[in-house]
């Protein structure tokens, strides 16, 4: 199994540009989530999904959209990038909503200028 | 809101010594805690967990201690190796949210050869 994969690994955007961060898992996990990690702060939940077709907001959802059309994929979309979205983004998955052990991807480092 | 914090931002230990990383939590109702290891440029990796009905749990070279009286967790790493150099952080579930967690900011462990 590849586990949780994320692309791209690095990305630079200009303010106002849009892009999609890709996340995929091959473990047939129901639960997937997106976090951002900023210096001096713990991981913060952006959006999560408890299964295909179901998504919900986390702690810091503004400026981000998600969809979950398949069990495997959970892309994160930035519609109009802002410098405040400069961060490292991690995707994670776990077997189910009640399963605490999450598997994290390698991260995407995003810089918005 | 509730928070999870770590006592020290950095810790340096000599190779072969034992390491102790501490974590304070504020929600006395939390019933589960996780320790993660995050190596530079990688995603967090689950190390060990503990439920609130336990005081101690041991893994391979790692032990987690839970003191519910003072709401304190510690991660002990025996015979620390250079490969243990990483950021370690603890996490506790946010109330009634399934897989959502509060994550600490982390302690950076450096192992001196």
The closest of B30, B56, B100, B94 to A94, measured between CA atoms, is B100
The pLDDT, as a whole number, for residue A19 is: 97
Render pLDDT for B19-59 as a digit per residue (tens, 0 to 9): 999 999 888 888 899 999 999 999 999 999 999 999 999 99
Q: Which of residues 70-89 of B touch A (CB under 8 A)?
A: 89
Q: What is the largest CA-CA distance in chain A?
A: 38
**Mean predicted confidence (pLDDT) in A50-58:** 94
Which residue in the set B41, B45, B100 is minimally distant from A45, CB to CB? B100
What local confidence, expressed as pLDDT, does residue B97 receive? 67
CA distance B48 to B34: 6
Q: Is the pLDDT assigned to residue B4 strictly greater than 70? A: no
For residue B8, pLDDT beyond 80: no
Closest chain B CA to residue A99:
B99
A61 shares contact with chain B (CB less than 8 Å): no
Q: Which two tokens stand for residue B86?
A: 């990483």
* In contact, B78 and B96? CB cutoff 8 Å: no
Q: State whether B99 and A97 contact (CB < 8 Å).
A: yes
pLDDT band at A97 (very low <50, low <70, confident <90, very high): confident
pLDDT in tens, B65-111: 999 999 999 999 999 999 999 999 999 988 766 678 888 888 999 99
What per-residue confidence (pLDDT) applies to B1? 29
B106, closest residue in chain A (CA to CA): A42
């Amino acid at each position: 199994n590849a586990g949780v994969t994320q692309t791209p690994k690095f990305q630079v955007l200009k303010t106002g540009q849009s892009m999609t961060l890709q996340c995929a898992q091959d473990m047939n996990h129901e639960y997937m989530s997106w976090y951002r990690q900023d210096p001096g702060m713990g991981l913060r939940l952006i959006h999560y999904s408890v299964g295909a077709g179901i998504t919900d907001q986390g702690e810091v959802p503004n400026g981000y959209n998600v969809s979950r059309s398949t069990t495997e994929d959970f892309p994160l979309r930035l519609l109009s990038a802002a410098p405040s979205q400069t961060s490292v983004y991690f995707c994670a998955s776990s077997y189910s909503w009640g399963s605490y052990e999450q598997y994290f991807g390698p991260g995407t480092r995003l810089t918005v200028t | 809101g509730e928070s999870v914090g770590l006592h020290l931002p950095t810790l340096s230990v000599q190779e072969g010594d034992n390491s102790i990383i501490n974590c304070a939590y504020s929600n006395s109702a939390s019933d589960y805690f996780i320790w993660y290891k995050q190596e530079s440029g990688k995603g967090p990796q689950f190390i060990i967990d503990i439920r609130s009905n336990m005081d101690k749990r041991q893994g391979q070279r790692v032990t987690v201690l839970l003191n519910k009286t003072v709401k304190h967790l510690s991660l002990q790493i025996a015979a620390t190796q250079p490969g243990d150099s990483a950021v370690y952080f603890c996490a506790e579930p946010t109330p009634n949210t399934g897989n959502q967690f509060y994550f600490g900011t982390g302690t950076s462990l450096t192992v001196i050869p």
